[in-house]
Amino acid sequence: MPTVAFQGEPGAYSEAAAWEFFPQPPTTLPCRRFEDVFQAVVAGQADYGMLPIENSLAGSIHRNYDLLLRYPVHIVGEHVFRVRHYLLALPGVRLEQVRYVASHPQALAQCEGSLRALGLEPVPAEDTAGAARALRDQGRTDMAAIASQRAAVVYGLQVLRAGLEDNPANYTRFILVAREPYQGPEPPHGYKTSVAFTLPHQPGALFKALSVFALRDINLTKIESRPLPGHPWEYRFYLDFLGHARQGPGQRALAHLAEIAPFLRVLGTYPRRPGPNAESAAGQ
């Protein structure tokens, strides 16, 4: 089985996404930082890296967009993961004993209404699975953690409440990166391609860039801008479209875009995995 690097402790949502993505559970390699995931893949310590790229409630994970350009990796897959938050405690602890709950600030924010209704005081932690591990190590009976169901198994905790998130439409889109481009079979739902590019600072530049896709009836599923380091008020664009970078309309669109964009890099062409809220309305 392949080795998949992810950011966080064992039991993190990224690890759960890797387990869902592959037909058989892969070997997983926990990493402290997102940079460490990229480095593990480039160094050959892992075959793949599983990285969150956007959440349906919190938006994009900008750090990973920037790191995609820093490291020589290719996006070879995507996975839309349904985030379900679980309230975990030590075995035998009752809900009425709990006064505090620890988790990543984003998880706490996504469960704010539920925590208020339960009368629990939030305590920020570095990550969700780390909060579960700390709870096990500290043995506190007045503390709970918000983490994944797998974290409960990994750290021997019990589930006090399931589905603690305030909004059930909570999905995270993950990307799978590797050292080489995707070379697998023809995907059943077609291809998606991710690119990054810059544009000259002049009127109509973005309109012209997007027109290369509109003229060929190519559906855009995501567009994101990030500040261009060293160039105040200039931006790099990240764009996803349905199609292949080296076939048909997608290839012709990128050849046209290369005439407009001073910088253009294909981040990967990979199998599209449709799912609930998996695609934005950018191309509608």
Distance CA 39, CA 35 (A): 6
Distance CA 277, CA 275 (A): 6
Q: Considering the entire predicted model, what is its pTM?
A: 0.89
Distance CA 170, CA 161 (A): 17
CATH topology of domain 191-271: Alpha-Beta Plaits (3.30.70)
The two tokens of residue 184 are 């697998």
Which listed residue (6, 21, 174, 213) is catalytic?
Answer: 174
Per residue in 7-38, pLDDT tens? Answer: 999 999 999 999 999 999 999 999 999 999 99
**Does 3.40.50.12280 match the CATH number of domain 86-162?**
no
**Does 3.40.640.10 match the CATH number of domain 3-82+170-178?**
no
DSSP class of residue 150 equals: H
Per residue in 148-204, pLDDT tens? Answer: 999 999 999 999 999 999 998 999 999 999 999 999 899 999 999 999 999 998 899
Per residue in 227-263, pLDDT tens? Answer: 988 888 889 999 999 999 999 999 999 999 999 999 9
To the query of whether residue 198 is one of the catalytic residues in this protein, the response is no
Q: What is the DSSP string of 251-282?
A: HHHHHHHHHH-SEEEEEEEEE----TT-S-ST
Which listed residue (28, 172, 193, 198) is catalytic?
Answer: 172
Give domain limits for the chain. Answer: 3-82+170-178, 86-162, 191-271
Q: Are strands 86-89 and 100-103 parallel, antiparallel or unpaired?
A: unpaired
Distance CA 59, CA 228 (A): 20
To the query of whether residue 174 is one of the catalytic residues in this protein, the response is yes
Considering only CA atoms, which of 156, 160, 98, 100 is closest in space to residue 132?
156
- pLDDT, position 233: 85
Half-sphere exposure in the Cβ direction for 238 (13 Å, CA): 21
Considering only CA atoms, which of 169, 175, 171, 189 is closest in space to residue 238?
175
Q: Do domains 3-82+170-178 and 86-162 have the same CATH topology?
A: yes
